[in-house]
Amino acid sequence: MTDRATGTTRRGFVAVCGGGVVAVLGGCAETSSSPPYQDGQLNQTNQTNQTNQTNQTNQTNQTNQTNQTNQTNQTNQTNQTNATERTAQQTTAAEAAAITEPTTNAVPLDSLVLESHEYVLTQGYKGPVVQGTVVNTGSEVVRTVEVRVRVYNATGAQLGLYIARTSDLAAGNAWQFEVILLASPSDIADYEIAVLGVPD
């Protein structure tokens, strides 16, 4: 497990490998020449939803029935925001779908632009994911495009490295990615993200 508090910062990542679950081993697979990472905002989606909900509440507080509806919506939103653990069956499915081993010859490419990204807590086996869009702004196809997400707990310890990958991203095209995070949503406090590629 990598710990920012022991001198290993997110920008100067040194993998410390040992026994453990797949998520931990995945976080130890990057090479010493790690790509530049961008910080993620874990609560960006939830904050936006809360703002929208507040605006709706202010506009519709005219009747008791509307107030009851708003209370129900708040309860549903709280349930969705609260971290829930995967079942054993969901964990097996998530582990089968997730990617934790990076492409060894992938490198940062000027043509690949990380246009957007956000943390989302989804329903079902996928659980916590990072979704976003990568655009190939260059004039050549990129043979392999890889998005890497490193997640951390509240103390700064790295919980794992998780990946999404696609092939043959044509010039001018966009790719909407989804990175499945095997770490428990209740443990995730922070993440950072990078995009790399293998040119054609």
Backbone angles phi, psi at 17, to 5 degrees: -95, 150
* Selection from 194, 187, 120, 181 nearest residue 157 by Cα: 187
Are the C-beta atoms of 37 and 194 separated by less than 8 Å?
Answer: yes
> Alpha carbon 108 to chain centroid distance?
19
Domains of the chain (ranges, CATH numbers) = 88-198 (2.60.40)
Q: Which pLDDT score, from 0 to 100, does residue 3 have?
A: 53
pLDDT in tens, the chain (200 residues): 555 544 344 433 333 333 333 333 444 456 535 689 999 988 644 433 443 444 444 444 444 444 454 454 443 344 334 567 999 999 999 999 999 999 999 999 999 999 999 999 999 999 999 999 999 999 999 999 999 999 999 999 999 999 999 999 999 999 999 999 999 999 999 999 999 999 98
Direct distance between the N- and C-terminal alpha carbons of the chain, in angstroms, rounded to an integer: 34
For residue 44, give every residue at least 6 positions away whose Cβ sits within 8 Å of its Cβ, in sequence order, or none.
118, 119
Which residues share a beta bridge with 38?
193
Instruction: Tell me how far apart the alpha carbons of residues 129 and 24 are, in angstroms, rounded to a whole number.
Output: 17
Q: Which pLDDT score, from 0 to 100, does residue 49 have?
A: 43
3-state helix, strand, coil in the chain (%, to 5): 25, 35, 40
Are the C-beta atoms of 149 and 162 separated by less than 8 Å?
Answer: yes
Sheet holding 128-136: strands in order across?
Answer: 112-121, 128-136, 174-180
Q: Residue with structure tokens 């428990």?
A: 184
Q: Which pLDDT score, from 0 to 100, does residue 83 have?
A: 60
* Selection from 186, 91, 102, 182 nearest residue 145 by Cα: 102
Instruction: Tell me how far apart the alpha carbons of residues 134 and 119 are, in angstroms, rounded to a whole number.
Output: 15
Classify burial at 136, counting beta carbons within 10 Å of its beta carbon; exposed 0-12, middle 13-18, buried 19 or more: buried
Q: Which pLDDT score, from 0 to 100, does residue 58 have?
A: 45
